[in-house]
Chain A
Amino acid sequence: MRAHLPILPLVISLAGALVIPVVALASRRLAWPLAVAAALGAAWAALAGVCDVIVHGASHYAVGGWAPPWGIEVVLDPLSAWSASAVAGVASMALLASGPAVDRRERDGAPAFYTLALVALTGFLGIIASGDMFNVFVFLEIAAIASYALVASAGGPSLAAAFRYIVLGTVGASFYLLGVGLLYALTGTLNMGDLAARLPEHSGSPLFVGGVVFVVIGLAIKMGLFPLHGWLPDAYTYAPTAVTSLLAGVATKAAAYALARMVWYVLRPHALPVTTVLAWTGAIAIIVGGVLALRQTDARRLLAYSSVSQLGYIALGLGLGNAVGLAGAYLHILNHAVMKSMLFMAVGAALYRGGRPHLTALGLGRSMPVTAACAVVAALSLIGLPPTGGFFSKWYLLQGALEAREPAFVGAVLAGSLLAVGYMYRLTEAIWVGGVVDHPPAEAPASVLIGLVVLALVTIAVGLTSAVLMRTVLLPATSGAF
């Protein structure tokens, strides 16, 4: 079993996606529990992977017994194990919480919805686990195609949003593929380990420069990094909230993980100003995303622009060029996945109970106290207040920015917090004391509450154990890059 651990999350998730359509022939009601079980299984396997990495160190898995560089390699190292658990864990809670809304909206389409969701999850896990540049592209596309369909599933304006997502997502994937092609032409290999070994001798080649630029831009589009975030606000606003609590949590994070891996562990373009550009772009994204979020009146669009700002934090951490900053970025990948998924769940619950997405008509505080309380926990984490996890990712990013000796980065981290105070204040005020919903008051369905409460506890637990997480997983792994 241990030998197969690197690929296990992927296999469980893919198996779920394949089984659901078959079982749905017998009963469509089984689709939801099966999907949740598959995602939980993937999360369990990913967490087992984290434990395995801590105890035994990194391991490599050759799919089908074909040794790299000919076969496909799957890598289980601290950072991939960490990111896979974040993605699979958040996805399992998002799928759990999606049940009632999907049941009401999709009816007979529920098996298709959950199949697509698990295909997307398989893609995200594949992006993270793959040790091969070309396979990252394959999984990027698997995840993206499933995501396009999920975003479009609301009909109406979501179709236009999905079309935009398809166009930009395809541009991003094509850029990435072009970059991979250039690097292959240069080195004759697609395996990340081989590439990392061979690229230094080609670092002056124009092909290398082109390859790096295309790969980085392609992944930046997928990640929704400002100013390449054009697909994100509409997709998050018009997709069903069952989809956004999944995609907003994990889709951009898988791409962010891939970007970090390429920049620091594979391409290592240290002669080029890639990390500097990333850091500055991130700093600007923090501010611009926050300012745009302040101006929104639709709760979902507010959350979308908040994602643009928070992804800026991750990009800033990637570009700071020190271990603590990079570790902070990885911690923020987990924290932002958790809190953004929670916020979309809470807004989704309000809509499910008859609220409207406009900030003046969202109000649920008195009739949905648990949901509203969890939304406050997520908002505190997003602002970066202790004892939530969000505080600690900002703390480490701040340490990294101070270590990088660039006052603008320090200022961006702090200003982003202030902006988050502003837009999260508007959202939480709308939730607690905002407009009255003229429906019989009722708390969110039990499955949503479980998802929210579990993630709220995770947020606080990550905060209180951040020192342990940093020492055992993140800092040793990121220190190796410098």
Chain B
Amino acid sequence: MPTASALPGLALLPAALAIPLIVLARRRPVLRETWSVLAALAQTAVVAAVLPSVLAGAAPTWRPLELAPGIFLELRADALGTLFALVASALWVATTIYSIGYTRAESEQRLTRYFASFALCLFATVGIAFAGNLLTFYFFYEVLTVAGYPLVIHRQTPEARQAGRVYLLYTLGGGVALLAAVAWTFSLTGTTDFVAGGIGALAGASAPVLWALFGLFFIGCGVKAAVVPLHTWLPVAMVAPTPVSALLHAVAVVKAGVFAFARVTGFVFGPALLHDIGAATALVWLAAATIVLASLAALVQDNLKRLLAFSTIGQLSYVVLGVALGTPAAFAGGVMHLASHALLKITLFFCAGAIAATAHLDRVSQFTGLGRRMPLTLGAFAAAAFMLAGLPPGVAFVSKWRLLTGAVDAGSWVAAGALLASAVLNIGYFAPIVIRAFAPAAPGTPSEVHEARPAMLVPLLCTAAAGLALGLAPDAGGWLLSLASAAAAAVTGPR
């Protein structure tokens, strides 16, 4: 039930205000980083303030401006959007604190641009989460694309610039496809509003038109979501500083892509229509293939960040798989996995960054005995890795269990098989790292305990602990399970 409220718009304000403040404080690093932390905290607080009314079934809606005749800039906090906004904002807090430690340890330059771009990314992410129609969504989606670019090329090495080029080519190319899809949807139906269960007027279009439209949406969302074969940019973008990989390439940017899939399948086409034209099955196959292929690719990586990137590609497609299956359990599981993967993968990236900044190692083959020197970091890594693989009692177990039951409900043995195969493969690529790290060190290597600095260690321990806590009590605080279930019920419930 939409109710007029400025709260969803207010959620954009902290990040928007932080950008000029960060730029003004460019010669005073402490003040600059303070603004970043405060903005992250304020954004989390505003999003959390929306939560009670969303859980009560309301959808606070803010329509400040008419963008084009008949289409408003509309921000609406529904269950799905609030879940995403909450995860992104809370993890922004952790990442900002972690960034302060990491950038000091690595003596990074150009930090004003770095923190300002980060704020702009989170501004865009909240906009994406709360976008109430396709044009508003596209607006923030493109802002996110552009804002992510300075972070990818942050180190300005030739390699980073090459990565930036690949990143822009893929994401802006995907953006053009998305624009075509949005314009076409508007031209077919006369609306761009997200409607839970699908835009009714779309059902009148012929199957070839719907397939073509779905193809455009697939390219538009699939690039950011790194679905095979549109995934190539993500491993290349790992050249960015690790906090960027952690928040953007595990949470904000790539999750914007899978979130887009949730919006398009659940709120533009609707599961029923997608199923009728057969696109749902095609998407399930693509997601299943991505899950298995990415996990296989992760098996052979030596560079830890690239391994995590391939793992991300696989895990993102769990969400795509869930929303494509379209059964209540699968949709809820997919949406939940958006949160659980964010929490666990950011932990893994934090650990990778801590190892790189403290022990100056980035290849798994160099990790022998590292667990004895950095027991807390590697302990958190091991916990997050096994939780992400789906072992109970981690938070990913809860979401993967729902995905699996949803796949069985839908009778999709492809999906169920991919889920089970991937669980084995996950263990297959994470276990050797952990075993190697806790194996006895070769003689002659330093063995004293030398942990990462607290600003890096505390955030990664917190996110790992949160992953465990939400696994033990998935509805702790009454948000994760409730929001995911509410989103699934809105989409799959009787229309």
Binding site for B on A (CB under 8 A): 380, 383-387, 392, 394-396, 398-399, 402-403, 410, 414, 417-418, 421, 425, 429, 433, 464, 466-468, 470-471, 475
The 9 closest A-B pairs by CB, nearest first: A467-B66, A402-B187, A386-B139, A398-B183, A421-B172, A385-B142, A414-B176, A467-B68, A417-B176
Is the CB–CB distance between B168 and A421 below 8 Å? yes
**What is the 8 Å Cβ interface bit string for chain B, positions 178-192, against chain A (1 contact, 0 not)?**
011001101100000
Q: Chain B residues near A403 (CB, 8 Å)? A: 187
Is A414's CB under 8 angstroms from B68's CB?
no
B186: chain A residues within 8 A (beta carbon): 399
**Can you name the residue of chain A whose Cβ is closest to the Cβ of B23?**
A369
Chain A residues near B184 (CB-CB < 8 A): 402
Give CA–CA (A385, B140) in the complex, Å. Answer: 10
CB < 8 Å neighbour of B176 from A396, A418, A433: A418
Min C-beta distance of A309 to chain B, whole Å: 15
Residues of chain B at the chain A interface (Cβ within 8 Å):
65-69, 71, 138-139, 142-143, 146, 153, 156, 161, 165, 168-169, 172-173, 175-177, 179-180, 183-184, 186-187
Specify which chain A residues have a CB less than 8 angstroms from the CB of B156 in the assembled complex: 433
Assess whether A470 is in contact with B69, with CB atoms less than 8 Å apart: yes
What are the residues of chain A within 8 A of B153 when measuring CB–CB? 433
CA distance A468 to B68 in the complex (A): 8
| Smallest CB separation, A308 vs chain B (Å) | 20
Complex Cα spacing A425 to B165, Å: 8
With both chains docked as a complex, state the minimum distance between the C-beta of B127 and any C-beta of chain A, in angstroms: 11
**Assembled-state Cα–Cα distance A418/B67 (Å):** 23
A256 to B153, CA, bound (A): 40
15 contacts between A and B (CB under 8 A): A392-B68, A399-B187, A402-B183, A402-B184, A414-B176, A414-B179, A417-B179, A418-B173, A418-B176, A421-B172, A429-B161, A464-B67, A467-B66, A467-B69, A470-B69
Q: Contact check, B66 vs A399: say whether CB atoms are below 8 A apart.
A: no
Question: Considering the chains assembled together, what is the distance between the CA atoms of A402 and B216 in angstroms?
Answer: 15
- Across-interface contacts of A396 in B (CB, < 8 A): 68
Nearest CB in chain B to that of A385: its residue: B142
Q: Which residues of B contact A467 (CB under 8 A)?
A: 65-69, 71
Q: How far is the CA of A41 from the CA of B233 in the complex (A)?
A: 51
CB of B225, distance to nearest CB on chain A (Å) = 20
In the assembled complex, how far is the CB of residue B461 from the closest CB belonging to chain A, in whole angstroms?
37
Q: Which residues of chain B are within 8 angstroms of A468 by Cβ–Cβ distance?
A: 66
Q: Given A385-B146, A386-B139, A410-B180, do A470 and B68 touch, yes or no (CB 8 Å)?
A: yes
Cα distance, A433 to B110, chains bound together (Å): 13
Residues of B within 8 A of A387 (CB): 139, 143
CA distance A398 to B184 in the complex (A): 9
Which residue in chain A gives the minimum CB-CB distance to B139?
Answer: A386
Distance of A429 Cα from B146 Cα, bound (Å): 13
In the bound complex, do residue B68 and residue A395 qualify as a contact, i.e. CB atoms below 8 Å apart?
yes
Assess whether A466 is in contact with B68, with CB atoms less than 8 Å apart.
Answer: yes
B145: nearest residue on chain A (CB-CB)?
Answer: A385
Name which residue of chain B comes closest to A327, CB basis. Answer: B69
- Closest partner residue, chain A, to B72 (CB atom): A467
CA distance A99 to B165 in the complex (A): 36
A395 touching B69 in the complex, CB below 8 Å, given contacts A385-B146, A386-B142: no
Question: In whole angstroms, what is the CA distance A403 to B184 when docked?
Answer: 10
Residues on the B chain within 8 Å of A383, using CB: 172
A108 to chain B, nearest CB (A): 42
Residues of chain A contacted by B67 (CB below 8 angstroms): 392, 464, 466-467
Could you tell me the distance in whole angstroms from the C-beta of A138 to the nearest C-beta in chain B?
Answer: 38
Contacts of B142 in A (CB 8 A): 385-386
Q: A residues within 8 A CB of B143? A: 386-387
Name B64's closest neighbour in chain A (CB-CB).
A464
**Residues of A contacting B169 in the complex (Cβ-Cβ under 8 angstroms):** 421
For A394, what are the chain B residues with a Cβ–Cβ distance below 8 Å?
Answer: 179
